[in-house]
Amino acid sequence: MNKIAILTSGGDAPGMNPAIRAVARTAIFYNIEVVGVRYGFKGLIEKDFFDMKRSSVADIIQKGGTVLFSARCEEFRTREGREKAYQNMREEGIDALVVIGGDGSLHGVQKINQESEISAVGIPATIDNDLSCTDYTIGVDTAMNTILDAINKIRDTATSHERTFVIECMGRDSGYLALMTGLAGGAEFILVPEIDFTPQEVTNRIVQGFNKGKLHSLILIAEGVKAPFVDLTGYNGSPGLAMGDLIREKTGMETRVTILGHLQRGGSPTAIDRIIASRMGAKAVDLLIEGHRDIMINYKDNSIGSCKIADAIVEKQQIDMDIYNLSSILSM
Task: Enumerate the active-site residues.
Answer: 128
Instruction: Give the residue among 291, 302, 172, 293 at the shortest CA–CA distance from 239.
Output: 172
Nearest to 128 by CA among 319, 281, 323, 277: 319
Cα separation, 185 vs 80, whole angstroms = 48
Binding residues for ATP: 11, 72-73, 102-105
Give the residue ranges of the annotated binding site. Answer: 11, 21-25, 72-73, 102-105, 126-128, 155, 163, 170-172, 186-188, 212, 214-216, 223, 256, 262-265
Q: Percent helix, strand and coil across the chain, each rounded to 5?
A: 45, 20, 35
CB 168 within 8 A of CB 223: yes
d(CA 228, CA 135) in angstroms, rounded, equals 31
209: number of Cβ within 10 Å: 19
Q: Which residues are annotated as a binding site for Mg(2+)?
A: 103
* Residue list, annotated binding site for ADP: 21-25, 155, 186-188, 212, 214-216
The b/e string for 107-145 (b: 16+ C-beta within 10 A; e otherwise) is: ebbbbbbeebebbbbbbbbbbbbbbebbebbbbbbbbbb
Q: Name the DSSP class of 34.
A: E
Q: In terms of DSSP bridges, do strands 33-37 and 49-52 run parallel, antiparallel, or are they unpaired? A: antiparallel
Q: Using an 8 Å Cβ cutoff, are 8 and 100 in contact?
A: yes
Give the contacts of 20 (CB within 8 A, at least 6 positions apart): 6, 8, 36, 57, 60, 66, 67, 68, 100, 281
Nearest to 228 by CA among 258, 261, 254, 193: 193
